Amino acid sequence: MKTISSFFVLFAIAAGIVAITPAAFADHTEVTVSPAPGSSSPGCETSADGCFIPKEATVDVGGSVIFSNTDTAAHTFTAGTAADGPSGAFDSSLVVAGSSYEWKPTTAGSFPYYCMVHPWMAGLIVVQEAGHDEMASGHDEMASGDTMMAATSATGMLSDGVKVSVGASAPTSGEKMMISTDFANSQHVNYDIKVTQNGNTVLDDMGVHDHEGKGSHETAPLTSSDPVEITITFEGYGIDDPKTGPIGEKVVFSNVVPEFGTIAMMILAVSIISIIAVTAKSKVIPRF
Ligand SMILES: [Cu+2]
Protein backbone atom coordinates (compact mmCIF):
# COMPACT_ATOMS: atom_id res chain seq x y z
CA MET A 1 0.00 0.00 0.00
CA LYS A 2 2.82 2.37 0.94
CA THR A 3 4.62 1.62 -2.30
CA ILE A 4 1.51 2.17 -4.31
CA SER A 5 0.69 5.47 -2.68
CA SER A 6 4.21 6.87 -3.05
CA PHE A 7 4.20 5.68 -6.62
CA PHE A 8 0.97 7.58 -7.07
CA VAL A 9 2.48 10.68 -5.52
CA LEU A 10 5.48 10.44 -7.81
CA PHE A 11 3.23 10.01 -10.78
CA ALA A 12 1.15 12.99 -9.71
CA ILE A 13 4.28 15.13 -9.37
CA ALA A 14 5.52 14.00 -12.77
CA ALA A 15 2.16 14.75 -14.31
CA GLY A 16 2.17 18.11 -12.59
CA ILE A 17 5.57 18.97 -14.01
CA VAL A 18 4.48 18.01 -17.48
CA ALA A 19 1.37 20.12 -17.12
CA ILE A 20 3.17 23.13 -15.61
CA THR A 21 6.27 23.21 -17.76
CA PRO A 22 4.88 24.67 -20.97
CA ALA A 23 3.17 27.52 -19.14
CA ALA A 24 5.79 28.44 -16.56
CA PHE A 25 8.86 27.87 -18.70
CA ALA A 26 7.52 28.79 -22.07
CA ASP A 27 10.02 30.25 -24.48
CA HIS A 28 10.20 33.97 -23.74
CA THR A 29 13.69 34.59 -25.07
CA GLU A 30 12.57 37.21 -27.55
CA VAL A 31 9.52 39.39 -27.73
CA THR A 32 8.64 42.17 -30.15
CA VAL A 33 6.63 45.23 -29.19
CA SER A 34 5.37 47.89 -31.61
CA PRO A 35 3.49 51.15 -31.17
CA ALA A 36 -0.15 50.94 -32.19
CA PRO A 37 -0.69 52.55 -35.61
CA GLY A 38 -1.67 56.19 -35.14
CA SER A 39 -0.68 56.23 -31.48
CA SER A 40 0.99 59.62 -31.97
CA SER A 41 -2.52 60.99 -31.52
CA PRO A 42 -4.30 60.36 -28.21
CA GLY A 43 -7.04 57.72 -28.13
CA CYS A 44 -5.13 54.44 -28.04
CA GLU A 45 -4.83 54.65 -24.26
CA THR A 46 -8.55 53.94 -23.90
CA SER A 47 -8.70 51.21 -26.56
CA ALA A 48 -8.55 47.52 -25.68
CA ASP A 49 -5.26 46.96 -27.49
CA GLY A 50 -3.52 49.93 -25.89
CA CYS A 51 -0.79 52.14 -27.36
CA PHE A 52 1.93 49.49 -27.49
CA ILE A 53 1.13 46.07 -28.94
CA PRO A 54 1.14 43.91 -26.95
CA LYS A 55 0.61 46.37 -24.12
CA GLU A 56 2.00 43.77 -21.71
CA ALA A 57 4.82 41.47 -22.83
CA THR A 58 6.79 38.80 -20.96
CA VAL A 59 10.45 38.02 -21.54
CA ASP A 60 13.14 35.97 -19.79
CA VAL A 61 16.11 37.41 -17.98
CA GLY A 62 18.86 37.32 -20.61
CA GLY A 63 16.35 37.42 -23.44
CA SER A 64 15.64 40.43 -25.57
CA VAL A 65 12.83 42.84 -26.16
CA ILE A 66 12.73 44.28 -29.66
CA PHE A 67 10.91 47.59 -29.73
CA SER A 68 10.06 47.85 -33.40
CA ASN A 69 8.67 51.15 -34.61
CA THR A 70 6.30 50.06 -37.34
CA ASP A 71 4.30 53.28 -36.94
CA THR A 72 4.72 56.30 -39.21
CA ALA A 73 5.72 58.61 -36.34
CA ALA A 74 8.89 58.58 -34.24
CA HIS A 75 8.51 57.27 -30.69
CA THR A 76 10.63 56.55 -27.66
CA PHE A 77 10.47 53.37 -25.56
CA THR A 78 11.47 54.68 -22.16
CA ALA A 79 11.32 52.72 -18.91
CA GLY A 80 9.33 54.60 -16.29
CA THR A 81 6.03 56.45 -16.40
CA ALA A 82 4.92 59.77 -17.81
CA ALA A 83 4.03 60.84 -14.26
CA ASP A 84 7.32 59.93 -12.58
CA GLY A 85 9.72 60.23 -15.53
CA PRO A 86 12.38 57.79 -16.74
CA SER A 87 13.39 55.00 -14.32
CA GLY A 88 16.69 54.40 -16.10
CA ALA A 89 16.09 50.68 -16.72
CA PHE A 90 16.14 51.26 -20.47
CA ASP A 91 15.61 54.11 -22.89
CA SER A 92 15.58 53.82 -26.66
CA SER A 93 15.71 57.59 -27.16
CA LEU A 94 13.95 58.64 -30.34
CA VAL A 95 13.29 55.71 -32.69
CA VAL A 96 12.28 56.90 -36.15
CA ALA A 97 9.68 55.09 -38.25
CA GLY A 98 11.02 51.79 -39.53
CA SER A 99 13.79 51.53 -36.93
CA SER A 100 13.98 49.44 -33.80
CA TYR A 101 15.68 49.29 -30.41
CA GLU A 102 16.68 46.18 -28.49
CA TRP A 103 16.73 45.85 -24.71
CA LYS A 104 18.29 42.84 -22.98
CA PRO A 105 16.93 42.66 -19.44
CA THR A 106 19.35 41.36 -16.80
CA THR A 107 17.06 41.32 -13.76
CA ALA A 108 13.56 40.00 -13.19
CA GLY A 109 10.79 42.45 -12.43
CA SER A 110 8.00 44.56 -13.86
CA PHE A 111 9.10 47.42 -16.07
CA PRO A 112 6.49 49.97 -17.06
CA TYR A 113 7.51 52.15 -19.97
CA TYR A 114 6.13 55.02 -22.00
CA CYS A 115 6.83 57.29 -24.95
CA MET A 116 8.36 60.63 -24.05
CA VAL A 117 7.01 62.29 -27.17
CA HIS A 118 3.48 60.96 -26.66
CA PRO A 119 3.15 60.51 -22.89
CA TRP A 120 -0.27 58.84 -23.11
CA MET A 121 1.49 55.81 -24.61
CA ALA A 122 2.22 53.32 -21.82
CA GLY A 123 3.14 49.63 -21.76
CA LEU A 124 4.57 46.98 -19.46
CA ILE A 125 7.42 44.49 -19.80
CA VAL A 126 7.45 41.61 -17.31
CA VAL A 127 10.90 40.04 -16.98
CA GLN A 128 10.95 36.55 -15.47
CA GLU A 129 13.76 34.22 -14.39
CA ALA A 130 14.61 31.95 -17.28
CA GLY A 131 16.17 29.06 -15.33
CA HIS A 132 19.49 29.39 -17.12
CA ASP A 133 21.30 31.92 -14.98
CA GLU A 134 24.70 31.51 -16.61
CA MET A 135 23.25 32.97 -19.76
CA ALA A 136 21.73 35.88 -17.93
CA SER A 137 24.97 36.89 -16.24
CA GLY A 138 26.76 36.60 -19.57
CA HIS A 139 24.53 39.35 -20.87
CA ASP A 140 25.29 41.84 -18.13
CA GLU A 141 28.04 43.64 -19.96
CA MET A 142 26.17 43.89 -23.19
CA ALA A 143 23.11 45.26 -21.47
CA SER A 144 25.03 48.00 -19.70
CA GLY A 145 26.76 48.75 -22.98
CA ASP A 146 23.36 49.31 -24.55
CA THR A 147 22.52 51.78 -21.83
CA MET A 148 25.70 53.73 -22.52
CA MET A 149 24.88 53.91 -26.21
CA ALA A 150 21.32 54.96 -25.58
CA ALA A 151 22.05 58.67 -25.02
CA THR A 152 20.21 60.62 -27.68
CA SER A 153 19.46 60.70 -31.34
CA ALA A 154 17.05 62.62 -33.47
CA THR A 155 16.31 63.21 -37.09
CA GLY A 156 15.29 66.21 -39.14
CA MET A 157 15.10 66.59 -42.90
CA LEU A 158 16.37 68.94 -45.56
CA SER A 159 13.92 70.17 -48.18
CA ASP A 160 15.42 67.77 -50.74
CA GLY A 161 14.28 64.86 -48.53
CA VAL A 162 17.67 63.96 -47.07
CA LYS A 163 17.33 62.95 -43.43
CA VAL A 164 19.78 64.59 -41.06
CA SER A 165 20.35 62.60 -37.88
CA VAL A 166 22.29 63.63 -34.83
CA GLY A 167 23.47 61.33 -32.05
CA ALA A 168 24.86 62.74 -28.83
CA SER A 169 26.11 61.72 -25.44
CA ALA A 170 24.45 63.36 -22.46
CA PRO A 171 25.87 66.80 -21.65
CA THR A 172 27.95 66.33 -18.50
CA SER A 173 29.82 69.02 -16.60
CA GLY A 174 33.60 68.61 -16.95
CA GLU A 175 33.33 66.28 -19.92
CA LYS A 176 33.40 66.67 -23.66
CA MET A 177 30.19 65.82 -25.44
CA MET A 178 30.38 63.49 -28.41
CA ILE A 179 28.14 64.33 -31.34
CA SER A 180 27.70 62.31 -34.49
CA THR A 181 26.00 63.49 -37.66
CA ASP A 182 24.54 61.49 -40.49
CA PHE A 183 23.16 62.70 -43.80
CA ALA A 184 21.27 59.64 -45.05
CA ASN A 185 22.48 58.15 -48.34
CA SER A 186 24.49 61.24 -49.14
CA GLN A 187 28.07 61.74 -50.25
CA HIS A 188 30.38 64.75 -50.27
CA VAL A 189 28.34 66.65 -47.75
CA ASN A 190 29.47 70.09 -46.60
CA TYR A 191 28.06 71.62 -43.44
CA ASP A 192 28.73 73.78 -40.42
CA ILE A 193 27.94 72.56 -36.94
CA LYS A 194 27.57 74.83 -33.95
CA VAL A 195 26.78 73.76 -30.39
CA THR A 196 25.87 76.18 -27.64
CA GLN A 197 25.19 75.66 -23.95
CA ASN A 198 23.55 78.46 -21.98
CA GLY A 199 24.45 80.79 -24.81
CA ASN A 200 28.14 79.85 -24.80
CA THR A 201 29.61 78.26 -27.90
CA VAL A 202 31.16 74.88 -27.04
CA LEU A 203 31.69 73.69 -30.61
CA ASP A 204 31.93 75.63 -33.86
CA ASP A 205 33.13 73.59 -36.82
CA MET A 206 32.81 75.47 -40.09
CA GLY A 207 33.14 73.95 -43.55
CA VAL A 208 33.05 70.31 -42.52
CA HIS A 209 33.34 68.02 -45.54
CA ASP A 210 32.47 64.36 -45.35
CA HIS A 211 32.67 61.87 -48.20
CA GLU A 212 30.26 59.38 -46.67
CA GLY A 213 27.82 61.87 -45.19
CA LYS A 214 28.78 60.90 -41.65
CA GLY A 215 30.70 63.07 -39.24
CA SER A 216 31.75 62.98 -35.61
CA HIS A 217 32.43 65.97 -33.44
CA GLU A 218 33.55 66.73 -29.94
CA THR A 219 32.71 69.80 -27.89
CA ALA A 220 35.05 71.61 -25.55
CA PRO A 221 34.81 70.29 -21.97
CA LEU A 222 31.42 71.48 -20.72
CA THR A 223 31.10 73.71 -17.68
CA SER A 224 27.61 72.47 -16.86
CA SER A 225 25.26 69.55 -17.45
CA ASP A 226 22.59 71.80 -18.86
CA PRO A 227 21.09 70.97 -22.24
CA VAL A 228 22.74 72.17 -25.41
CA GLU A 229 21.47 73.42 -28.73
CA ILE A 230 22.91 71.91 -31.89
CA THR A 231 22.60 73.80 -35.16
CA ILE A 232 23.61 72.21 -38.44
CA THR A 233 23.83 74.51 -41.45
CA PHE A 234 23.87 72.67 -44.74
CA GLU A 235 26.53 74.02 -47.13
CA GLY A 236 25.87 71.88 -50.19
CA TYR A 237 26.91 68.65 -51.88
CA GLY A 238 30.10 68.25 -53.88
CA ILE A 239 33.80 68.87 -53.74
CA ASP A 240 34.18 71.75 -56.18
CA ASP A 241 32.22 74.98 -56.36
CA PRO A 242 29.49 75.58 -57.19
CA LYS A 243 28.01 73.11 -54.72
CA THR A 244 24.48 71.79 -55.08
CA GLY A 245 21.50 71.18 -52.83
CA PRO A 246 19.51 73.36 -50.45
CA ILE A 247 22.50 75.39 -49.28
CA GLY A 248 21.91 77.48 -46.19
CA GLU A 249 19.15 75.37 -44.64
CA LYS A 250 19.49 74.89 -40.92
CA VAL A 251 18.43 71.92 -38.84
CA VAL A 252 18.22 72.90 -35.19
CA PHE A 253 18.17 70.39 -32.34
CA SER A 254 17.45 71.98 -29.02
CA ASN A 255 16.21 71.33 -25.52
CA VAL A 256 13.23 73.18 -24.35
CA VAL A 257 11.60 71.40 -21.43
CA PRO A 258 13.66 71.91 -18.28
CA GLU A 259 11.57 69.86 -15.87
CA PHE A 260 12.67 66.52 -17.33
CA GLY A 261 16.00 64.76 -16.75
CA THR A 262 18.79 65.83 -19.05
CA ILE A 263 18.59 63.01 -21.55
CA ALA A 264 14.84 63.01 -21.61
CA MET A 265 14.97 66.73 -22.16
CA MET A 266 17.18 66.41 -25.20
CA ILE A 267 14.98 63.88 -26.89
CA LEU A 268 11.78 65.71 -26.23
CA ALA A 269 13.31 69.00 -27.20
CA VAL A 270 14.77 67.66 -30.37
CA SER A 271 11.40 66.48 -31.54
CA ILE A 272 9.74 69.73 -30.59
CA ILE A 273 12.39 71.87 -32.23
CA SER A 274 12.29 69.82 -35.41
CA ILE A 275 8.65 70.76 -35.66
CA ILE A 276 9.35 74.38 -34.83
CA ALA A 277 12.11 74.43 -37.41
CA VAL A 278 9.60 73.48 -40.05
CA THR A 279 7.26 76.30 -39.38
CA ALA A 280 9.67 78.97 -38.29
CA LYS A 281 13.18 78.36 -39.52
CA SER A 282 13.44 76.48 -42.78
CA LYS A 283 11.98 73.81 -44.94
CA VAL A 284 12.70 71.03 -42.52
CA ILE A 285 10.04 68.35 -42.74
CA PRO A 286 9.22 66.61 -39.47
CA ARG A 287 9.00 62.86 -39.15
CA PHE A 288 6.98 63.05 -35.96
CU1 LIG B 1 5.37 58.09 -29.30
pLDDT at position 38 is 93
**Ligand 1 ion local residues (Cβ < 5 A):** 75, 115, 117-118
Given a cut of 50, is residue 32 above it in pLDDT? yes
| Domains of the chain, CATH where assigned | 26-149 (2.60.40.420), 152-281 (2.60.40.10)
| Separation of CA 167 and ligand 1 centre (Å) | 19
| Dist CA 185 CA 214 (whole Å) | 10
Which residue has better confidence, 240 or 18? 240
Among the residue ranges 71-80, 121-130, 216-225, the one predicted with the least confidence is 216-225
Q: Look at strands 56-60 and 122-128 and give their pairing.
A: parallel
Given a cut of 90, is residue 16 above it in pLDDT? no
| Separation of CA 101 and ligand 1 centre (Å) | 14
Which residue has better confidence, 245 or 6? 245
User: Are 92 and 65 a contacting pair, CB within 8 Å?
Assistant: no
Maximum average pLDDT range among 23-37, 189-203, 214-228, 267-281: 189-203
| Separation of CA 64 and ligand 1 centre (Å) | 21
- The DSSP letter of residue 175 is S
Confidence of residue 279 (pLDDT cuts 50, 70, 90): very low
Given a cut of 80, is residue 277 above it in pLDDT? no
| Separation of CA 73 and ligand 1 centre (Å) | 7
Q: What would you report as the CA-atom Rg of the chain, rounded to the nearest whole angstrom?
A: 24
pLDDT at position 153 is 57
Strand partners, 122: 114
| Dist CA 206 CA 242 (whole Å) | 17
Confidence of residue 150 (pLDDT cuts 50, 70, 90): very low
